[in-house]
Structure 1
Amino acid sequence: MERVLRNSSYLNAMSTTSTRTRVRDVNPQSGMCPLCIRDCPSLCEIGLSAFRGREVLYPDPAYFGDSTASSLKDYGLDWSHFNILSRLVGVEGVDPDPDKMLFPNASVETSIGGVRVKVPIAMGAYGSTDIARKYWDGLAVGAALAGAILIVGENVCGVDPASEFSNGRVVRSPEMERRVKLFKEFWDGKYGDIAVQTNIEDQRIGVDEYVISKLEVNIVERKWGQGAKAIGGEIRINSLERALELKRRGYLIIPDPEDPDVQQAFKKGLFKTFERHSRVGSPIKTSVIEDVEKLREMGAKVVTIKTGAYRPADVAWTMKVASEAKVDYITFDGAGGGTGMSPVPMMNEMGVPTIYLESLILKAARILREHGKYVPDISMAGAFINETQIFKAIAMSNFGDGPLVRTITTGRSPLTAVMKASYFCELAEKGELPKEFVRRFGDKPEKFFILTDELRAEYGDAVGREIPWTAVALYTYLERIKDGLKQLLAGARKFKIDLISRDDLSALTPLASQVTGIPMVHEVDSDIFESILS
């Protein structure tokens, strides 16, 4: 009952939109207060919509550019419904020697689409939303130092006010240039890399050719969708001039900034931001194959696809087309994950949740393999934040020939690490850190970032300057994930991440077992349990 109430209550009150109901015991079907009264001081979804209309479809506009958002619906199945099986007898990936079976000796290095990574993580895609631009220094430098993949998201060139065009094609984007160059400045050239994601708008203005030829980007990612929404990229614009400029560049702007009545309403303050929307596509197999070939001819070394939480038939179609096009890897993004700006009802109610989605992908991959077809590497996305989820998603994909899921793509958690660091460093400068935080960790970044000395031993005085504290924060967060994964690997006695498999998991609920085929705890090892004793 608790889960049902929790799922229904958000219909009319969500922290995402800063709405609330007057009472907590809401109607389980509508989410409305059982007794709705005229003189209620609270603004529920219905009440706020009466004043702000379509604006309430989105996360609270006041926080755009300084926040990320996600679904808050309980889908009835998540990674907590599985446990990792620890092991006593036997070990793989290291000699069975207690002096070698130490968790720091476990390796979490792997590769996806031929790209080696120190930790099985890709981050992004961070596109034209203000939050990506504001915190790019920490994201780029931190990802490069950690040896992970970082993805520049869609529409960056199209939205960059300083972009230069010739015959409708971008020839320079200072913002894109800044993003790529900053990562490469701290990249070792061996682990991780920077990818540029392109949608229909980007393709129309030639972003692929620009980033490959001018910025020497190795990885191009075609975007077909994301888990948070099934429509194009969206941002808010707080300037009439910018809204007009982006409409001239071909974007859909709501409301129409060229409408005199809209201009007057904006100047009066009746609304404070415009919405910029991107087009959606419907890919065709032949054009996808030709497109991938063209990207390789341009010089792209790795070609990937980013797609969303679409219906099962679309998962099968995507896997088939990606196989025929020989893309290097695909990122599938499950419902429940994050965004810079997406319709809240769509985040909650549309799409296939992550575990269901991965199960469909694995089914498609096995069918392709049975028919002797090429299967691209997979990166899973959709509300991942820690090492236990990463372990489970990768292990679930290994049927005995190595994991099909090679990395996890995450967006919100790296941004949270960077934003938190930015805020606390700002508080430290003002002398306004919480007293308990100072007591526990210190009053300066040099003290409260635990890896300061370790990083300074390698990078010297650059730490805290060229390497901003926000990058130190991201690096530290990823180090936690790396060490956490190593501990889990040692506990499963699998000392290389590519060795973990479905045999290392158990399901805790019948639904988890039914969806994934992972046996429940009482079913694990049932075929050998008695034989061991007899």
Structure 2
Amino acid sequence: MTYSPNLSSAFNDTFHRSRHLSPQSGMCSFCTEDCEGPCEIALAAVLGARAVYPTNTGANQIASEKDYPLDYSHFNINGRVFGAVGAGLNFAEANIFRVNLESEYGRFHPVRLAMPLILPALIKMNWEDYFGGAAMAGVTCVIGEDSRTKDPELRLEHGKVVHFPALQKMLDAFRRYDRGYGQIVLQCNIEDDMMGVPEYAIQVHGAQAIELKFGQGAKGTQPVNRLKDREEALIKQALGHLVLPDPTDPAIVQAEADGVCPNFYIYSRLPIWDEEYLIPRIAELRQLGAKNIYLKMAGYDREDIRRVLQLGSQAEVDMITFDGAGGGSGYSPCKMMNEWGLPTVLLEETVLQITRDMKNNGLYVPAITITGGFSSEDQVFKALAYGRGHVTSVGIGRAAMAAAMTGKHIGQRIEAGEVPKAYQKYGSSVAQIYGDLPELRALYGKAADDFSPGAIGVFSYLNKLAFGLKHFAALNRKFDMKYLDQTDLIPLTRDAKDLIKGRWFD
């Protein structure tokens, strides 16, 4: 059998002519010369290098299509009928509603979470509701890398950002609903850092938290974007981007005049960071006013994971998010999304092994978030239980984006008097149909009636996850999430058993 998808994908609307496939290559077993396709080979024959990336981009999200041989579905959730850990053994205390989901992290400036979730980096589609819903739910959220490129008013002087007014709107999307839980974090890649975005954000817009990005689970390298022509290439180059080939090269200028100019590509630089640079850099950002510093890492080589953890320990960062293969959302190479990196459960195991060694040696270990393909409370519970209290939170990215988009779309339909059929039985208005709006009124008063349906959608989705988590915790007679461990999981396969060996069977 093969775990890899065949040569057809929703990424680019490719498909096979035949239902008979060659499993190893992913091609039709019988390939004809008159086939118009488009399988992925046919698409590449026409589009060339462009076919490395999804063609269905725009207001869409994209994630891995690979069926990994080991994931959290290889575990069931345990259950118990005796005792009560973290609560008195009585009906008033030992009940689902009394399960404590709150936690706290932070080396110097503690950040409280109302539930053990964060919303990873985003700055596309409906980001306003994504950040607003995070604040309502009381969780941390992250503004994605390259956010400066979303601002048409962006201005640089001597290669440094001096005017980026859209950042205030991004930060305010969270701040206007901030109720003392969570935090909005600005993610910066190597380009952002080179252009002084962290300093600008802290000093001009009062940003309190910065995340430095090494990579993400669906995109281990930075993206490549094809540009329309040399004119656009010159504009991008003037904004500090790396453009290849160089549109100012005299040979390229002549090639354009001759009508034989090659394609231009904008390429985000790979992080060339090390301890010698980052540790003083992090100290500098703190001196400028940053209260919290985060790192974003993915399922790279084990020694790279170890090195980032040790660097984070030395620099005393507050949290490191580890993003496993199987998730997605961004503009990532098709095959990189499917075939690169450690699957999330194996990444979590790797991180746990390394952090255990660090703790045994008396080293500080930052808070750990695990993300990559999570969308439901059972998956979140399993990741937290697998983390044995060492994993602070689980990242919900693509699913929370979907909640922001659909919450907004359905709300607009309702307000236009076009209630979708699936929701007609609940009522005819947003106030009647959005079931957790009363929870928001309890937090914010009647002002909640004017909140965006998209933000309400994010809050409601996360509230559903939180309520489901309480059920699973109570099922195991654990009334605080900090008590979860691997005895709360039942391995269903030999591979799963090997990961938690000795905890269930000999």
TM-score, normalised by the number of residues in structure 2: 0.91
Say yes or no: does 1:414 pair with 2:400. Answer: yes
1:202 and 2:192 matched? yes
C-alpha change, 1:312 and 1:454, in structure 2 (3 Å) is closer
Relative distance call for 1:84 and 1:347 in structure 2 (3 A) is same
How far 1:355 sits from its partner (Å)? 0.8
Q: Which runs of structure 2 are paired with 1:283-322 in the superposition (5 Å)? A: 283-322=273-312
Aligned partner of 1:383 in structure 2 is 373
Compute the displacement of 1:429 (Å).
4.9
Between the aligned partners of 1:231 and 1:262, the Cα distance in structure 2 is 30
Q: Aligned letter for 1:211? A: A
Provide the residue aligned with 1:88 in structure 2.
81
- The structure-2 alpha-carbon separation of the partners of 1:404 and 1:116, relative to structure 1 and needing over 3 Å to count, comes to same
1:181 counterpart residue number: 172
Per-residue deviation at 1:315?
Answer: 1.3
Q: Aligned match of 1:481 in 462, 465, 472?
A: 465
- Secondary structure of residue in 2 paired with 1:69: coil
- Aligned residue number for residue 404 of structure 1: 390
Residue-by-residue CA offset, 1:339-367 (whole Å, 9 max, x unaligned) = 32000111111111111111111100111
State which of 95, 100, 110 in structure 1 corresponds to 2:93. Answer: 100
Q: Does 2:433 align with 1:448? A: yes
Correspondence for 1:125 among 96, 121, 125? 121
- Structure 1 range deviating more: 473-482 or 108-117: 108-117
- Residue 531 of structure 1 is matched in structure 2 by none
Match of 1:394 in 2: 384
Instruction: Find the residue that maps to 1:360 and give its secondary structure.
Output: helix
Cα distance change of structure 1 residues 441 and 170 upon mapping to structure 2, 3 Å threshold: same
Write out aligned runs for 1:16-415 (5 A).
Answer: 16-60=11-55, 63-113=56-106, 114-127=110-123, 132=124, 134-188=125-179, 190-233=180-223, 243-253=233-243, 276-398=266-388, 403-415=389-401
Query: Which deviates more from structure 2 when the two are superposed, residues 281-290 or residues 235-244?
Result: 235-244
Q: Deviations over 1:217-276 (max 9, x none)?
A: 22111101111111125567779866542221121346877767789999xxx99xx864
Structure 1: runs of 5 or more not aligned: 527-534
Q: Distance in 2 between matches of 1:495 and 1:264?
A: 73
Which residue identity does 1:483 align to in structure 2? Answer: F
Contact kept in structure 2, 1:395 and 1:504, CA below 8 Å: yes
**SS of residue paired to 2:65:** coil
Checking the alignment, whether the CA contact within 8 Å between 1:13 and 1:21 is kept in structure 2 is: yes
Distance in 2 between the 1:66 and 1:40 partners? 31
1:91/1:494 contact within 8 Å kept:
yes
| 2-structure distance, mates of 1:330, 1:257 | 38
Mean Cα deviation higher: 312-321 or 235-244? 235-244
Are residues 204 and 450 of structure 1, via their aligned partners in 2, closer, same or farther at CA, if it must alter by over 3 Å? same
1:490 alignment partner in structure 2: 474
Corresponding residue for 1:424?
410
The equivalent position to 2:490 in structure 1, one of 506, 512, 515, is 506
SS of the residue corresponding to residue 197 of structure 1 reads strand
Instruction: Please give the alpha-carbon distance, in whole angstroms, between the structure 1 residues aligned to 2:257 and 2:9.
Output: 31
Select between 110-119 and 351-360 the one with higher mean Cα deviation.
Answer: 110-119
| C-alpha contact (below 8 Å) 1:71/1:347 kept by paired residues | yes
Question: C-alpha separation between the residues in 2 aligned to 1:338 and 1:112?
Answer: 26
Deviations 1:20-73 (CA, angstroms, capped at 9, x unpaired): 00122311111111111233343100011111112211122xx42311111111
Partner SS for 1:304: strand
Secondary structure of residue in 2 paired with 1:390: helix
Kept in 2, the 8 Å contact 1:502–1:518? The answer is no
The answer (yes or no) to whether the contact 2:129–2:173 under 8 Å persists in 1 is no
Structure-1 separation of matches of 2:52 and 2:408: 29
Q: Secondary structure at the match of 1:31?
A: coil
Structure 2, unaligned stretches of length 5 or more?
none
Amino acid at match of 1:28: P
CA–CA separation in structure 2 for the residues paired with 1:182 and 1:264: 49
Paired positions, count: 499
Contact 2:441–2:449, Cα closer than 8 Å, also in 1:
no
Cα pair distance change 1:211/1:440, threshold 3 Å:
same
For residues 227 and 58 of structure 2, the distance between their equivalents in structure 1, rounded to whole angstroms, comes to: 10
Is the CA contact 2:37–2:43 (under 8 Å) kept in the aligned structure 1?
Answer: no
Distance change in 2, residues 1:256/1:439 (3 Å): farther
Q: Is the 1:257–1:263 Cα contact (8 Å) retained in structure 2?
A: no
1:70 match: secondary structure: coil
The TM-score with structure 1 as length reference comes to 0.87
In 2 relative to 1, CA 263–237 (structure 1 residues): closer, same or farther, beyond 3 Å? farther
| Paired amino acid for 1:419 | M
User: Secondary structure of the equivalent of 2:11?
Assistant: helix
* Separation of aligned partners in 1, 2:469 and 2:257: 54
What is the letter of the counterpart of residue 56 of structure 1? A
Which amino acid counterpart does residue 115 of structure 1 have in structure 2?
V
Structure 1 residue identity aligned to 2:6: L
Indicate conservation of the 8 Å contact 1:71/1:336, yes or no. Answer: yes
- The CA deviation at 1:19 is 0.6
2: distance between equivalents of 1:121 and 1:256? 43
Q: Secondary structure at the match of 2:392?
A: strand
Q: Matched residues in 2 for 1:154 and 1:265: separation?
A: 36
- Secondary structure of the structure 2 residue equivalent to 1:157: helix
Measured in 1, the distance between the counterparts of 2:9 and 2:192 equals 34
CA contact (8 A) 1:255 1:262 kept: no
